């Protein structure tokens, strides 16, 4: 009887821990994960410093289709999504002069991102950092990964929070449609 109770308690603790850990990454019902932006609205203006030393500016990318992704080195769903962003988005569109992309590390420093990149050289898309969450605060209070597709007119045409396998296909379709539009 005591063994069954301990086993049940262990299972309950593991389940509760999974809920605490996994809820922020999936389709959370909490208001804190709701975006501060909407599809059809203008993309908030921002500028971030890239790991390469360049500066990424939404204003400068006007007229292009832009993918913006918020992530963090410690975020397991982000790390699952990153190889797919590399293969299915960046590799496919990087040579298109009408396309731009940036992945912004939320609340992480240049040094942290540099260390991560050194260990993960397979990620060739532009990585940027937002250590004080100033840029991220324009989009949400919580929840990563978080991705956006912006059309040539600066309007959000796709946004997602969390990572599920089908999200990359949806993001890809949004990019294709935005690139084909006038």
In DSSP terms, 70 is beta-bridged to 104, 146
SS (H, E, C) 89-106: HHHHHCCCCCEEEEEEEE
Q: 171: how many CB neighbours lie within 10 A of its CB?
A: 23
Domains of the chain by start residue, with CATH: 2-180 (3.40.30.10)
pTM score of the predicted model: 0.81
- Determine the Cα–Cα distance for residues 157 and 134; give it in Å rounded to an integer: 23
How far is C-alpha 136 from the chain's CA centre?
A: 10
Q: What is the pLDDT of residues 57-96, one digit of tens each?
A: 999 999 999 999 999 999 999 999 999 999 999 999 999 9
Q: Greatest CA separation found in the chain?
A: 69
Q: What is the pLDDT of residues 3-47, one digit of tens each?
A: 444 443 444 333 333 333 344 444 444 556 777 678 999 999 999
């Amino acid at each position: 009887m005591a063994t069954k109770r301990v086993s049940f308690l262990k299972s309950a603790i593991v389940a509760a821990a999974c809920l605490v850990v996994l809820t922020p990454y999936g389709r959370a019902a909490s208001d804190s994960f709701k975006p501060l932006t909407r599809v059809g609205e203008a993309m908030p203006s921002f500028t971030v410093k890239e790991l390469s030393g360049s500066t990424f500016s939404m204003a400068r990318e006007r007229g292009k289709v832009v993918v913006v992704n918020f992530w963090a080195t410690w975020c397991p769903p982000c790390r699952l999504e990153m190889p797919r962003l590399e293969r299915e988005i960046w590799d496919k569109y990087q040579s298109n002069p009408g396309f731009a992309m940036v992945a912004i590390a939320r609340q992480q420093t240049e040094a942290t991102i540099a260390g991560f990149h050194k260990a993960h050289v397979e990620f060739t898309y532009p990585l940027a950092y937002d250590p004080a969450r100033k840029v991220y605060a324009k989009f949400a209070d919580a929840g990563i990964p978080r991705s956006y597709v912006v059309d040539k007119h600066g309007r959000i045409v796709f946004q997602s929070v969390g990572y599920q396998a089908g999200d990359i296909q949806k993001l890809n379709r949004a990019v294709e449609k935005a690139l084909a539009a006038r």
